[in-house]
């Protein structure tokens, strides 16, 4: 078993685990559930955490250069070690981006659009849930329901920041900082993608104009080439003497 094969086989199970975690965590934050149901939901959350832990250990063991892989993937270890800070558990959703990369195909624009849309949706919803979890029961909080949380997440990720809703807890502000950084990154990708599309459109229009301008010249060249070929054919058909010189008149036969 190689690391590549492990990632290939574990990709979709981890996505299912991540989606299951989102549902369970959403129920924890939004739903008004009984103590018994809360225990079941918490068990599901810990099971998904165990699956992510197994994936991390498997990747570490199967990595060709374990030390290098460990250093380059410290963020995964941090995400794995966050079950104590419940709102920050949603960082595990970065696993979904692996599948977004595979589903996007080889086209550069396809990857950009998929990453931007997927990342924006994940960041917005995860940020809304996390800040609601941190702020809902805090003293002096102004984010007390899912609608307020989503509105706050949208204004934050787009860097608008109306200021009508804002976190007052430390964890909420940590979530806000992460969402701000993520929003800047997403907007940067959007700007670069739009600029690339505009450059391609201008290049295509310029190429079409050059093509149209060169069409008469190419037609004239084709006509001249045809005339040269006809003249060459006529010259080749004239009789030659023994020295290879074209005769002005065909030789008389007695």
Look at residue 53 and tell me whether its pLDDT is greater than 80: yes
Establish if 190 belongs to a structural domain: yes
Task: With both helix axes pointing from N to C terminus, report the angle between 3-30 and 35-62 in degrees, rounded to the nearest 10.
Answer: 160
pLDDT at 244: 57
Tokens of 141: 């909080």
DSSP state string for 168-218:
-SHHHHHHHHHHHHHHHHHHHHHHHHHHHHHHHHHHHHHHHHHHHHHHHHH
Start-to-end Cα distance in the chain: 94
pLDDT at 84: 47
One domain, residues 174 and 140: yes
One domain, residues 89 and 117: no
Establish if 224 belongs to a structural domain: no
Span 150-193, pLDDT tens digits? 999 999 988 887 888 999 999 889 888 888 888 887 777 777 77
For the segment 39-63, the average pLDDT, to the nearest whole number, is 87
pLDDT at 187: 76
Establish if 246 belongs to a structural domain: no
Look at residue 204 and tell me whether its pLDDT is greater than 60: yes
The residue out of 73, 95, 117 marking a domain boundary is 95
pTM exceeds 0.85: no
Establish if 207 belongs to a structural domain: no
pLDDT at 57: 92
pLDDT at 149: 93
Question: Which has more pLDDT, 20 or 119?
Answer: 20
Mean pLDDT score across all residues of the chain? 78
Q: What is the CATH number of the domain that holds 132?
A: 1.10.287.70
Residue whose token pair is 């093509």: 211
For the segment 215-228, the average pLDDT, to the nearest whole number, is 83
Residue 101 banded pLDDT, cuts 50, 70, 90: low
Question: Which has more pLDDT, 179 or 211?
Answer: 179
User: Are 94 and 126 contacting, i.e. CB atoms less than 8 angstroms apart?
Assistant: no
Number of domains forming the structure of the chain: 2
Residues of the domain holding 66: 1-95
């Amino acid at each position: 078993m190689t690391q590549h094969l492990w990632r290939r086989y574990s990709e979709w199970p981890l996505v299912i685990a991540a989606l299951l975690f989102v549902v369970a965590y959403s129920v924890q934050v939004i739903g008004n559930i009984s103590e018994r149901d809360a225990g079941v939901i918490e068990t599901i959350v810990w099971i998904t955490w165990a699956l992510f832990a197994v994936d991390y250990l498997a990747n570490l063991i199967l990595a060709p250069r374990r030390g290098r892989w460990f250093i380059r993937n410290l963020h995964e270890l941090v995400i794995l070690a966050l079950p104590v800070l419940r709102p920050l558990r949603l960082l595990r959703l970065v696993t979904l981006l692996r599948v977004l990369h595979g589903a996007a195909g080889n086209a550069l624009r396809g990857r950009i659009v998929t990453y931007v849309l997927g990342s924006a949706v994940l960041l917005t919803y995860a940020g809304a849930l996390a800040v609601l979890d941190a702020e809902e029961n805090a003293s002096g909080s102004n984010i007390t329901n899912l609608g307020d949380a989503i509105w706050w997440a949208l204004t934050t990720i787009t860097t608008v920041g109306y200021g009508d809703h804002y976190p007052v807890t430390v964890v909420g502000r940590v979530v806000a900082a992460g969402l701000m950084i993520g929003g800047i990154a997403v907007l940067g990708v959007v700007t670069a993608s739009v600029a690339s599309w505009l450059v391609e459109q201008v290049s295509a229009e310029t190429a079409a104009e050059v093509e149209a301008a060169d069409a008469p010249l190419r037609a004239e060249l084709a006509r001249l080439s045809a005339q040269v070929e006809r003249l060459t054919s006529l010259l080749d058909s004239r009789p030659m003497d023994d020295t290879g010189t074209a005769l002005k008149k065909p030789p008389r036969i007695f």
